[in-house]
Amino acid sequence: MNETFDAVVVGAGPAGCATATALALHGRRVLVLEREKFPRYHIGESLIPFTYHALERIGMIPRLRRSGFPRKYSVQFVAPSGRASQPFYFFNRYDRDTVAQTWQVLRSEFDQMLVENAREKGAEVREESEVVGLIKDGERHVGVRVRSRDGREYAVHAAVTVDATGREAMVASRNAWRRGDPKLNKIAVWTYYDGAMRDPGIDEGATTVAFVPDKGWFWYIPQHNDRVSVGVVADGKYLTRGGIKDPREIFHREVKENRWIEEHLAPGRSCGEYWLTGEYTYRSEFCAADGLVLVGDAYGFLDPVFSSGMMLALKSGVLAADTIHEALLAGDASATRFTGYSKAMHESIENMRKLVYAFYDPNVSFKTVTERHPAVADDLTDCLSGDVGKDFTRMFGAFEEFTRLPEPLSLGMPKVSA
């Protein structure tokens, strides 16, 4: 069997579904191929305010408002002593009924909602369909080879192939395009608790970032059905000190390093396995080639301290879809058509990356920076909230008084054929 579509998307996670849905809304015939059967487990559960626009674009906001996911209006920071900051409420700067209200999602349910939404909007989604190879005509990508659940193999041809395979990063891994960031080489250990404490009222769905020594930190994310996602992120050498490598042992040792985390978990009980992952931050050397574009984590992943992953994934999907649509109208899906896409995503990732570097720098305190430079407080709020496609020269200039921020990574540009 050989089939032809305007675009074929590999992966039905948030970036893939955003790409496919936006393309379907453009009237394009698009196929999504997903190796797994949904619903399936995935980490990455907290949405930040400027995820709103991409979700609105693909028609997801009504679904989320009907869902049982906890509403998230704020984030707070907690010192190792257990002393918590005042919550930073998004509605102090943004519209409470739109951008300032976001959600803490259970990814198995959220991703299923994205798949159902893509189908309703006109995309075809095939689960348990593994892409086993890319089809090329010279240097131009023209589709993929697929193996179905019953072992049957077939070809799908398309003017554009979209890699949305997440951290597996199919194209970047196979082509050796993947580049790490050695200063953001962290590991994470996490689990889930039932019945753990959560703050009352409007703060019930707040994200808490709780610090441990050596610039490590916990996330504490309330979910529905009285469950909490909780994990610790730090340098591998710190978390495995003393030769400890068992995730459960690492986790419970670190809980004792922050009084707030210890007290909030005390009334609850662990309800799942202990997960571990590492080498967080990377970027693909190229974001596109002739007939090919990378979106979401397949393009790059940034340390999750500010929960930017979902925003960047959904934003990249919508931007890529618009670019693909214009390329199809022009009859030209060459790599250069994705130059604008690459510049927009590069700027977004680099702005957030600088902020992550500042967070981990022992010489930097966001509180000290904003006290000395009150005018940058709004810039800091915008960047933390995901409004990252803007000029933050003033803010980063203030940070330079305390530390040297990283030079931009010259990665993520289109791969132009000779």
264 & 399 share domain: no
Does residue 409 fall inside a structural domain?
A: yes
Mean pLDDT of the chain: 95
Which of 337, 341, 37, 333 shows the shortest CA–CA distance to 157?
333
What are 19-40's pLDDT values in tens digits? 999 999 999 999 999 999 999 9
| Lowest-confidence pick of 162-171, 273-282, 299-308 | 273-282
Domain boundary residue, one of 248, 278, 308 = 278
pLDDT confidence of residue 207: 96
Work out the average pLDDT over 392-400: 96
39 & 152 share domain: yes
Pairing of strands 153-163, 2-10: parallel
216 & 328 share domain: no
49 & 134 share domain: yes
Residues 169, 177: Cα–Cα separation, whole Å? 10
Does residue 102 fall inside a structural domain?
A: no
What is the span of the domain harbouring residue 209?
186-278
Does residue 85 fall inside a structural domain?
A: no
Beta bridge pairs of residue 413:
286
195 & 272 share domain: yes
Q: Are 103 and 47 within 8 A, CB to CB?
A: yes
Structure tokens at 393: 């020269």
Query: Where does the pLDDT of residue 85 fall: very low under 50, low under 70, confident under 90, or very high at 90 and above?
Result: confident
Work out the average pLDDT over 97-124: 97
47 & 192 share domain: no
pLDDT confidence of residue 279: 67
Does residue 93 fall inside a structural domain?
A: no
Based on the number of CB atoms within 10 Å of its own CB, is 391 exposed (0-12), middle (13-18) or buried (19 or more)?
Answer: exposed
pLDDT confidence of residue 214: 75
Element (H, E) at 146: strand 140-147
The upper half-sphere exposure of residue 45, i.e. CA atoms within 13 Å in the direction of its Cβ, equals 30
Does residue 368 fall inside a structural domain?
A: yes
298 & 371 share domain: no
164 & 51 share domain: yes
**Is 198 in a helix, a strand, or coil?**
coil
Does residue 100 fall inside a structural domain?
A: no
274 & 286 share domain: no
Domain boundary residue, one of 245, 278, 311 = 278
Q: Could you tell me the CATH number of the domain that includes residue 258?
A: 3.30.9.100
pLDDT confidence of residue 418: 59
Q: Could you tell me the CATH number of the domain that includes residue 147?
A: 3.50.50.60
**Of residues 5 and 83, which shows the higher confidence score?**
5
* Burial per residue of 174-195, b for 16 or more beta-carbon CB atoms within 10 angstroms, e otherwise: eeebbbebeebbbbbbbbbbee
- In the block, tokens 């999750």 appear at 304
**DSSP per-residue string spanning 372-414:** H-GGGHHHHHHHHHT--SS--HHHHHHHTTT-PPPPPP---EE
156 & 194 share domain: no
393 & 329 share domain: no
165 & 193 share domain: no
Work out the average pLDDT over 156-174: 97
Does residue 81 fall inside a structural domain?
A: no
- Whether the per-residue pLDDT at 417 is higher than 80: the answer is no
pLDDT confidence of residue 384: 94
**Is 40 in a helix, a strand, or coil?**
coil
Query: Where does the pLDDT of residue 86 fall: very low under 50, low under 70, confident under 90, or very high at 90 and above?
Result: confident
Phi, then psi, of 399 in degrees rounded to 5: -65, -30
pLDDT confidence of residue 185: 85
Does residue 79 fall inside a structural domain?
A: no
Work out the average pLDDT over 76-103: 93
What are 206-259's pLDDT values in tens digits? 999 999 877 789 999 999 999 999 999 999 889 999 999 999 999 999 999 999
Query: Where does the pLDDT of residue 2 fall: very low under 50, low under 70, confident under 90, or very high at 90 and above?
Result: confident
* Structural domains in the chain (count): 3
**DSSP per-residue string spanning 231-290:** EEEEEHHHHTGGG---HHHHHHHHHTT-HHHHHHHTTSEE-S--EEEE---EEESEEEET
Residues 214, 237: Cα–Cα separation, whole Å? 11
